[in-house]
Every structure is written in structure tokens, then in C-alpha cells.
Chains A and B, each alone.
Chain A
């Protein structure tokens, strides 16, 4: 039961994009087409899920044992960068179209703050391995939902009659702000 509320809490209430404002770069960059947004979501989900488990194990069984926890940032980034490299190779091999469509935003998952954010939050919140794995699944699912919804809204914004000076990114940022207001409405649910 506690895991369920942790999951709901991290997916919707404390949504990674709309209440913590991590990962705004891919939110704006890869949300022009809903299909690309979903693919980005899948890639981020894989990276965050594996990264949160691996970093948790590394932190608790290597860094804590050797009393070098101050190296957490650099080891986490090492793990995340390797994972992203792996995803990149995998996509290049299996679906070059997705690889092309995601372009520079695929290697940029490395610097996606959501990935490092989850890894560090898992440690500072004192989660155990199961909780860390649930968090590593809940956060990117929340991210995927938001980026997909945002992409569908942007698709409609393209044909909407937007004032000249608000066209493109400005109206997208305002939309993201309104979505954050909507998420703020369910704050305190969990």
C-alpha cells in the first residue's frame, strides 16, 4: 500500500516536470510531435529505471562501505552517461528512424536533470532498494505522461490563432505553466 501511494505521489502529485521543474529541456525540445514525445518518454523511462537501481546499489554497497559518499555525483553521472550511450547504440541498431527523429536530444538525456534528480532523491529520502526501484519507475512515467499531453496540446497550438509575439516557445512555456497550476491543484493528496 505504501508503495502504491509512493508511486501515485511521484507520478502525479510531485510530478517531476510540473512540480519540481526538472527535465524542462526535453519537455520543450522533443514535444513537437506526440510520437517523438512518447519515444523520448520510453528512452527516459529505461534510463531512469536502470539508473536508480544501479546508483542505489553503488551508493549503499560501494560508496558507503568505502566512506567516499562525497563522490556520489561523479559516480552517478558515470552510470547515467554509460546507460545513455547504451540506449543510443541500441536505438541506432534497432530503429534508425527514431534515432534520427530524436537527434541531439538523445545524448542530452545524460544531462537531463530528472535522471540525476531521481538518483540523488532516492539517496536523500533514505529509500530502500524496492522503494528506489518504484521511484525509478514512477518518476519517468509521470514525465512521459506530461510530455505526451504537452505534445498533443502543442500540436493544436500550431493551428491555433496565437498572437504573433507568442508563437512557438513563448506560448509553449505559458502552456507548461498552466499545466503546472493544474498539478498544483492536487498537491497534498498523498
Chain B
């Protein structure tokens, strides 16, 4: 086996990885962590039944206030919906305001 091939690829990969890692430090975007939390709570079927592109699209719409009805997610059950409603109504975003949503 050609060991130099393996080492070369590892080295190239490591260098590129480091460059990207450094770039990520400087180019990091502050994301609203409520969106990730809501994505976690949604069923994650990615069915598109809510009319948004995937669960992340729906979570974004909820947090941005584009839609206020959690039941837009047709596959979620009552328990999940109530969990999301209480989470969003109680957790303030980066600007200190909460979004009002209903089941």
C-alpha cells in the first residue's frame, strides 16, 4: 500500500479543514436558537403538509411570526403542539420579545 498517498490526502484534508474552521470563527452567524429548539420539538416528518419547505421552514415561520397556528403542522399531536406553544410564548428571542402562537 502506498503510504504517501494516504498521508498526503490526510494532510490536504487537515489543512482545508483548518482553513474552514478558522473561516467559520470569523463568519459565524448568530442564529435564533428558538428555531433549532422548535425543529427539535416538531415531529420531523419533513412532509411539507404545512405548506413550508420542510420542518425547518415551518419552525422559521413560527418564530418569525409568519404563521401563528402550530396546528399548521398536520402530523403533530396535541401534546407536541402544546409543548411548542408554551415554549414559544415563554421564551424570549435575542431582541427580548416573545412570539404569540396558538394551538
Measured between beta carbons, the chain A residues less than 8 angstroms from B4 are 66-68
A85 at the interface (CB under 8 A from B): yes
B12 A75 Cβ-Cβ under 8 A: yes
A62 B27 Cβ-Cβ under 8 A: no
CA distance A82 to B12 in the complex (A): 11
Chain B minimum-CB-distance residue to A63 = B8
Chain B minimum-CB-distance residue to A79 = B16
The interface on chain B, measured as residues whose beta carbon lies within 8 A of the other chain's beta carbons, has a size of 16
B29 A92 Cβ-Cβ under 8 A: yes
A71 at the interface (CB under 8 A from B): yes
CA distance A87 to B2 in the complex (A): 34
Partner of B12, one of A58, A67, A93: A58
B78 at the interface (CB under 8 A from A): no
Chain A minimum-CB-distance residue to B5 = A68
Residues of A68-106 contacting chain B, CB below 8 A: 68, 71, 74-75, 78-79, 82, 85-86, 89-90, 92-93, 96
User: Interface readout for A18-49 with B: 1 if CB under 8 Å, 0 if not?
Assistant: 00000000000000000000000000000000
CA distance A75 to B9 in the complex (A): 7
B47 at the interface (CB under 8 A from A): no
A interface bracket (residues with beta carbon within 8 Å of B): 10 to 19
B23 A66 Cβ-Cβ under 8 A: no
B8 A68 Cβ-Cβ under 8 A: yes
B12 A78 Cβ-Cβ under 8 A: yes
Chain B minimum-CB-distance residue to A70 = B5
Measured between beta carbons, the chain B residues less than 8 angstroms from A78 are 9, 12-13, 16
CA distance A93 to B2 in the complex (A): 41
CA distance A75 to B7 in the complex (A): 12
Contacts A68-B4, A86-B20, A93-B27 aside, 9 further interface pairs with beta carbons under 8 A come to A62-B8, A63-B8, A66-B5, A71-B5, A82-B16, A82-B20, A90-B27, A92-B29, A93-B29
Q: Which residues of B contact A (CB under 8 A)?
A: 2, 4-5, 8-9, 12-13, 16-17, 19-20, 23-24, 27-29
16 residue pairs of the A-B complex, CB under 8 angstroms, read: A62-B12, A68-B5, A71-B9, A75-B12, A78-B9, A78-B13, A79-B16, A82-B16, A82-B17, A85-B20, A86-B19, A86-B23, A89-B20, A89-B23, A92-B27, A92-B29
The 6 closest A-B pairs by CB, nearest first: A82-B16, A89-B27, A93-B27, A68-B5, A66-B4, A92-B29
